[in-house]
Amino acid sequence: MKVLLAYEPGVLRVVDMPKPVVGPRQILAKVRYAGVCATDVSIMKGTLTLGEGMEPIYPVRLGHEWSGTVVEVGSETSRIKVGDNVISDTQYSCGECEYCLKGEYGSCLNGRAIGTISNCWPGSFADYMLVMERTTFKIPANVPLDQAALIEPAAIGLYGLTRAPLGPGNNLLVIGTGPIGLGGMACAKGMGMGRTILAGRKDAKLAIGKQLGADVLVNTTRENLHDVVMRETDGRGADVVLDTTGDPSIFNDVLLMMRGSGFLVIPGFYEQDLKNVKLDRIISRNCTLVGAAGTPQMGPKILDLLANGHINLGPMITDRFPFSRVEEAFEAVTSRNESRVKVLVEFDQ
Ligand SMILES: [Zn+2]
Ligand SMILES: [Zn+2]
């Protein structure tokens, strides 16, 4: 089978590899769609800096946003069948350590990221994807497979938001119009979140956010975000803020855009030490800071939102390339663009 590797920093290479052998509790899927993530591009370039012990080990088989069709199942599987369309968690978890037994799969003592850092599980830019049945979820018949491949970034946003008050009676400020912000916001709106302000720098991406449920759009190149937030929240600040930007220069301002006892969810890595952070703004106002990485067990929730028509992630798909042109897909993510949100790679069937 054909496999894409970040062979070494700066070098992408498609190589031939044997089709994986399916273990007893594993399933093998023919990949149908794989999304290119900014993380994939950073690994390809060799610029990812998530901190100690989180370095990529080259060559990296990239890809963690995917959907596919099951072609083989292991001897001890029961839930997933050949022919099922599936997605998976973006991390391997063992299911047996003390954190997995508590349901805290993201903190699995034997956990491995898929297709990114450290000793990662081989990723989904490949003809076939091998995963544990435990971390695999069946896609309902009425959910398009291309949208299912977008569940991973949306799930990161939703995972953070589920640890804040999510639903009716709470308003939301989303900063950033990438897949995590837009996808997380779409899920929150699909679950009944109140008035939602979306802030970004590109009108075309804000317009996509409108399609996904944003109530108020703010182009921060033209408007002062703090002013708009105060105007829209009776001068109190947002109940929940999802800041996906990873931009340290706005952090102190963002702290003042949430209300007292509010929640700030940060799924975007800063990739640096933050200096002069006014943490007292969190303490004095009894606020909660929520870090969110990975997508443990979020797949079924978002599949349910899609299957029941509560959300439509389709508008986030702005570019498509066949796997034979995967290098161009990576270049597209790198190049500046006014409207690009998610680049999908499509595989031959
Ligand atoms: Zn990603
Ligand atoms: Zn575990």
- 3-class DSSP state of 143: coil
- Let me know whether 41 and 116 are in one domain: yes
Q: Which ligand is nearest to the CA of 105?
A: 2
Q: Which ligand is nearest to the CA of 97?
A: 2
The domain tally of the chain equals 2
228-274 pLDDT tens trace: 999 999 999 999 999 999 999 999 999 999 999 999 999 999 989 99
Residue 236 CA to ligand 1 center (angstroms) comes to: 33
Residue 275 CA to ligand 1 center (angstroms) comes to: 26
Structure tokens at 269: 């890595």
Q: By C-alpha distance, which of 85, 145, 139 is closest to 314?
A: 145
- Let me know whether 176 and 243 are in one domain: yes
Q: Is 299 part of a structural domain of the chain?
A: no
- Let me know whether 26 and 145 are in one domain: yes
- Share the mean pLDDT of the chain: 95
- 3-class DSSP state of 67: strand
Is residue 342 predicted with pLDDT exceeding 90?
Answer: yes
Q: 53: pLDDT confidence band, cut at 50, 70 and 90?
A: confident
Q: Is 342 part of a structural domain of the chain?
A: yes
Residue 16 CA to ligand 1 center (angstroms) comes to: 24
Using the CB atoms, write b or e for 233-262: b if 16+ within 10 Å.
Answer: beeebbbbbbbbbbeeebbeebbebbbeeb
Residue 285 CA to ligand 1 center (angstroms) comes to: 32
- The amino acid present at 287, given as its one-letter code, is C
Mean pLDDT is highest, among 37-51, 162-176, 285-299, 322-336, for 162-176
- 3-class DSSP state of 2: strand
What's residue 33's pLDDT? 98
- Let me know whether 178 and 251 are in one domain: yes
What is the number of residues in the chain?
A: 349
- Let me know whether 242 and 173 are in one domain: yes
Q: Which ligand is nearest to the CA of 43?
A: 1
Residue 78 CA to ligand 2 center (angstroms) comes to: 20
Which residues pair with residue 217 across a beta bridge? 198
Print the domain residue range for 110: 2-150+313-346
Is residue 295 predicted with pLDDT exceeding 80?
Answer: no
- Rounded CA-CA distance 170/149 in Å is 29
CATH of the domain at 102: 3.90.180.10
Q: H/E element holding 51?
A: none
Q: Which ligand is nearest to the CA of 103?
A: 2
What's residue 192's pLDDT? 97
Q: Is 79 part of a structural domain of the chain?
A: yes
Q: Which ligand is nearest to the CA of 107?
A: 2
What's residue 44's pLDDT? 93
Structure tokens at 216: 């108020």
Q: By C-alpha distance, which of 87, 69, 35 is closest to 307?
A: 87
What's residue 338's pLDDT? 87
Residue 169 CA to ligand 1 center (angstroms) comes to: 30
- Let me know whether 103 and 39 are in one domain: yes
- Let me know whether 85 and 202 are in one domain: no
Is residue 152 predicted with pLDDT exceeding 80?
Answer: yes
CATH of the domain at 260: 3.40.50.720
Q: Tell how many helices (H) and how many strands (E) occur in the chain.
A: 11, 18
Residue 219 CA to ligand 1 center (angstroms) comes to: 25
Residue 65 CA to ligand 1 center (angstroms) comes to: 6
- Let me know whether 8 and 121 are in one domain: yes
Residue 75 CA to ligand 1 center (angstroms) comes to: 31
Q: Is 142 part of a structural domain of the chain?
A: yes
Is residue 51 predicted with pLDDT exceeding 90?
Answer: no
Instruction: Provide the whole-model pTM.
Output: 0.94
- Let me know whether 264 and 205 are in one domain: yes
Q: Is the dihedral of CA 241, 246, 250, 252 positive or negative?
A: positive
Q: Looking at residue 117, what DSSP letter applies?
A: S
- Let me know whether 283 and 177 are in one domain: yes
Q: Which ligand is nearest to the CA of 64?
A: 1
Cβ atoms of 130 and 112 closer than 8 Å:
no
Residue 227 CA to ligand 1 center (angstroms) comes to: 32
Q: Is 58 part of a structural domain of the chain?
A: yes
What's residue 296's pLDDT? 75
Q: Is 329 part of a structural domain of the chain?
A: yes
- Let me know whether 117 and 230 are in one domain: no
- Let me know whether 159 and 143 are in one domain: no
66-98 pLDDT tens trace: 999 999 999 999 999 999 999 999 889 999 999
Q: Which ligand is nearest to the CA of 115?
A: 1
- Rounded CA-CA distance 79/102 in Å is 21
8-47 pLDDT tens trace: 999 999 999 999 999 999 999 999 999 999 899 999 998 9
